[in-house]
Amino acid sequence: ETGVTQTPRHLVMGMTNKKSLKCEQHLGHNAMYWYKQSAKKPLELMFVYNFKEQTENNSVPSRFSPECPNSSHLFLHLHTLQPEDSALYLCASSQDLRGGETQYFGPGTRLLVL
Amino acid sequence: GENVEQHPSTLSVQEGDSAVIKCTYSDSASNYFPWYKQELGKRPQLIIDIRSNVGEKKDQRIAVTLNKTAKHFSLHITETQPEDSAVYFCAASRGGGYQKVTFGIGTKLQVIP
């Protein structure tokens, strides 16, 4: 599947590192999302972008910094993370934010913070 | 904000039996209810969805029912097969330019051959 791609697929980083996650969608969608998926917890919405503008920041710590240069690309910049930030980070996209639009997920980046 | 509760958290059924997963939501303004299936090591994928103007929707072996008054909706899988084994997530969201989707905790379904 190539609709929504994410790189890297796996990432191990120390607490003092800076790294970035990349998401790209080839579906012509206008809205993009970052989710955090931890074991035994619901999917947690982190950020929402619509037409490159951030419309939702779900009380995410500042050590996570999103960037959306255009409607096809979404980044998540990581800085001084904590071990509890280890999780699967999923990117998703949808046509727009009208509501009731299917979200298409990427394969995720499995992040381990040591 | 919206709160979605899902149960059971795990479910084991014999191949050929039916499986039912139930969700409740708190926001009466929610009007879109998708269900996602996530196989081990793979991305969540939409399998069926229902909107508030419909009480039931069916797609082959999968059906979803919605009770707006009671604020609950359910996923029904009939004639289960081993490939149905996965984690299933329910979700709820509003329409009208607001697209915050709230997910349930997930149900791990195991179909025993």
Q: Do A42 and B104 touch (CB under 8 A)?
A: yes
* Tokens standing for residue A93: 């996209």
d(CA A6, CA A45): 17
**Contact across the interface for A45 and B49, Cβ inside 8 Å:** no
The H or E element spanning position A109 is strand A109-113
Dihedral of the CA atoms A59, A83, B107, B5 (nearest 10)?
Answer: -30
Contact A43 B49 (CB under 8 A): no
Query: A96: helix, coil or strand?
Result: coil
Q: What is the mean pLDDT of chain B?
A: 93
What is the per-residue pLDDT for B64?
Answer: 98
Query: In this structure, what token pair is assigned to residue B102?
Result: 């709230």
Structure tokens at A92: 């998703």
Confidence band (pLDDT; 50, 70, 90) for B112?
A: very high
Write out the two tokens for A108.
Answer: 């995720």
User: What pLDDT score was predicted for residue B54?
Assistant: 85
Neighbour count for residue A18 (Cβ, 10 Å): 12
Output the CA–CA distances (angstroms, integers) from residue B66 to A95, B54, B92, in the order listed: 25, 7, 11
Is B77 in the A-facing interface, judged by CB distances under 8 Å?
no
pLDDT tens digits, one per residue of A38-90: 988 888 989 999 887 877 777 899 999 999 999 899 999 999 999 999 999 99
Of B4, B44, B95, the CB nearest to A98: B95
